[in-house]
């Protein structure tokens, strides 16, 4: 794909000094009788004779090739690379770079940072298609600015209703209120909108990126960014670059073949039938519990007894679960750090598993997927392209008629543009960049109780992204219905700290939501803003 906008900017800003030698040294240390093997030793730097040094290096390369081909890849995981990436689309982040567990990212927030005009990926198209694409982006960005202004007074009214004392100093809270308006307005922006971020991965993840970078939904943008990442690492360590395999062709990927097997992209009738079937199965929820083990509480309690070496007559199921999941008893749950994987007792939370079917907007799911211990089978979005708007609107927009009207008009015009690009021969992967942040994403997500507990400790907070908060509340209530002894301990951070006796109960400081949620049962949670 050729670009009319500037290309992505990829810089390697931090890295292991010699990742290739480090990997071989780690491999040799596994079988070294004389102790730790150092990177300079596998490179022959402690050998003075040139011929002997060449033999050492040949042996190093033989080991590297052997362990790579055999799949003994943990040695390549020691080295890490930190990239600063600018001008990457939100869609590429969602579809590829954040769609797996093995990375760390810190990206600019659309919730709190205003998106500037022109901050968007624009492909180079032919004639009418180019004009249509650029006009649609301009319309979406204009709607974002107009919605922000429309929603500022609405958000302000709600804000001062929650915090009446703050109404005496309205100027002090203008920025906070504008952010609330901006958070809702961003739903109309295209997923082509640029992000900038730090992105850190291990050596083995880079090798995987390079091999699998060409797949739906964004094969050409991802391939370009990964190529630049690989080139930066080659410049650092040419030897490591020798391990990079050629990317698999898009047409040979199982994802592309499977999509073609069900009729490909731009199949509106199939997409509509799928949406209707999926949404009916949600039964009105954002997230519906569809899979769990009926005996999970008993399994969890038995795991606690096994950790402690206690028979049933000494430790009942009720007592074992309370010892594990009550923050007043398991004090690690009140720590700022998530320490549960390092505690023998707390690891008993891994045995209860839950599966949810859920529906979020693209922008909400871009945050939800960052919870990497609750993975989801997210869609190939071009397979969901239909002929009518398929979106989720934030409550702040829904409750305000002028904003809701502008939102609906913008969505209708966006889908008209998508259909226009299709008729002009633009491929689905390129046209999909115009999809709004509001576009619905439907998928199944699973996690164990430990991961879900930690996620809810973050996302049941009233400051969390609205849709994820509603999904988390759905999940907590349904788990409590099937497993009440476990589900009662799915709590927001303030309720955990209150139970633990940590003050202040709210950890957010000046970002306090204004509602004493720790005093309320989950079934009474109501969120206005």
**Are both 79 and 222 inside the same structural domain?**
yes
Percent of the chain having pLDDT more than 70?
A: 100
**Are both 55 and 90 inside the same structural domain?**
yes
**Are both 173 and 188 inside the same structural domain?**
yes
Give residue-wise pLDDT tens across range 52-94.
Answer: 999 999 999 999 999 999 999 999 999 999 999 999 999 999 9
The first and second tokens of residue 62, run together, are 């033989």
Give residue-wise pLDDT tens across range 236-249.
Answer: 999 999 999 999 99
Give residue-wise pLDDT tens across range 361-400.
Answer: 999 999 999 999 999 999 999 999 999 999 999 999 999 9
**Are both 180 and 66 inside the same structural domain?**
no
| 303-to-300, 316, 443, 454, 455 alpha-carbon distances in Å | 5, 12, 31, 19, 22
Q: Are 493 and 457 in contact (CB under 8 A)?
A: yes
Domain assignment present for residue 513? The answer is: no
**Are both 95 and 226 inside the same structural domain?**
yes
| Cis peptide upstream of residue 282 (ω within 30 degrees of 0) | no
Percent of the chain having pLDDT more than 90?
A: 99
pLDDT of residue 426: 98
The total number of structural domains that make up the chain: 2
**Are both 28 and 169 inside the same structural domain?**
no
Give me the count of residues in the chain.
529
pLDDT band at 252 (very low <50, low <70, confident <90, very high): confident
| 189-to-16, 25, 73, 364 alpha-carbon distances in Å | 38, 48, 40, 13
Domain assignment present for residue 500? The answer is: no
Which residues form the domain of 37? 9-104+196-256
**Are both 97 and 208 inside the same structural domain?**
yes
pTM: 0.96
**Are both 147 and 46 inside the same structural domain?**
no
Q: Give me the residues paired with residue 446 across strands.
A: 355
Query: How many Cα atoms occupy the beta-carbon half-sphere of 291 within 13 Å?
Result: 11
**Are both 177 and 125 inside the same structural domain?**
yes
């Amino acid at each position: 794909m050729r670009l009319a906008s500037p290309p992505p900017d990829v810089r390697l800003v931090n890295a292991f000094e010699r990742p290739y030698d480090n990997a071989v040294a780690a491999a040799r240390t596994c079988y070294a009788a004389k102790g730790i093997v150092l990177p300079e030793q596998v490179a022959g730097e402690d050998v003075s004779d040139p011929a002997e040094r060449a033999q050492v290096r040949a042996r190093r390369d033989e080991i590297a090739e052997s362990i790579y081909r055999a799949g003994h890849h943990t040695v390549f995981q020691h080295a890490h690379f930190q990239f600063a990436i600018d001008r990457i689309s939100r869609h590429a982040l969602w579809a590829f770079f954040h769609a797996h567990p093995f990375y760390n990212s810190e990206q600019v927030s659309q919730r709190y940072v205003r998106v500037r005009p022109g901050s968007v990926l624009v492909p180079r198209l032919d004639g009418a298609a180019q004009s249509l694409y650029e006009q649609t982006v301009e319309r979406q960005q204009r709607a974002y600015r107009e919605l922000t202004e429309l929603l500022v007074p609405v958000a302000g009214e709600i804000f001062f209703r929650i915090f009446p004392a703050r109404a005496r100093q309205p100027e002090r809270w203008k920025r906070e209120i504008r952010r609330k308006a901006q958070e809702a307005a961003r739903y109309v922006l295209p997923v082509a909108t640029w992000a900038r971020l730090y992105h850190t991965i291990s050596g083995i993840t880079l090798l995987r990126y390079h091999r699998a970078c060409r797949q739906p939904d964004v094969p050409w943008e991802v391939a370009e960014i990964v190529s630049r990442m690989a080139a930066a690492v080659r410049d650092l360590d040419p030897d490591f670059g020798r391990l990079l395999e050629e990317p698999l062709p898009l047409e040979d990927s199982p994802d592309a073949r499977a999509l073609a097997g069900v009729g490909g992209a731009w199949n509106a009738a199939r997409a509509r039938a799928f949406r209707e079937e999926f949404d009916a199965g949600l039964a009105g929820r954002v997230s519906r519990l569809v899979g769990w083990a009926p005996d999970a509480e008993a399994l969890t309690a038995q795991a606690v007894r096994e950790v402690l070496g206690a028979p049933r007559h000494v430790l009942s199921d009720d007592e074992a679960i309370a010892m594990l999941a009550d923050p007043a008893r398991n004090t690690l749950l009140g720590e700022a750090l998530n320490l549960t994987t390092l505690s023998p007792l707390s690891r008993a939370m891994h045995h209860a598993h839950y599966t949810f079917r859920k529906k979020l907007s693209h922008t909400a799911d871009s945050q939800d997927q960052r919870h990497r211990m609750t993975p989801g089978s997210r869609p190939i979005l071009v397979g969901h392209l239909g002929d009518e708007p398929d979106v989720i609107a934030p409550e702040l927009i829904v409750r305000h008629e002028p904003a809701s009207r502008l939102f609906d008009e913008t969505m209708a015009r966006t889908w008209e543009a998508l259909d226009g690009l299709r008729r002009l021969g633009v491929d689905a992967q390129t046209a999909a960049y115009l999809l709004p942040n509001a576009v619905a994403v439907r998928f199944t997500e699973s996690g164990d109780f430990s991961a879900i507990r930690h996620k809810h400790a973050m996302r049941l907070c009233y400051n969390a992204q609205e849709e994820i908060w509603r999904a988390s509340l759905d999940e907590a209530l349904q788990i409590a219905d099937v497993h009440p002894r476990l589900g009662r301990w799915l709590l927001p951070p303030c309720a955990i700290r209150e139970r633990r006796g940590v003050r202040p109960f709210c950890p957010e400081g000046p970002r306090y939501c204004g509602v004493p949620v720790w005093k309320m049962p989950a079934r009474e949670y109501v969120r206005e803003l």
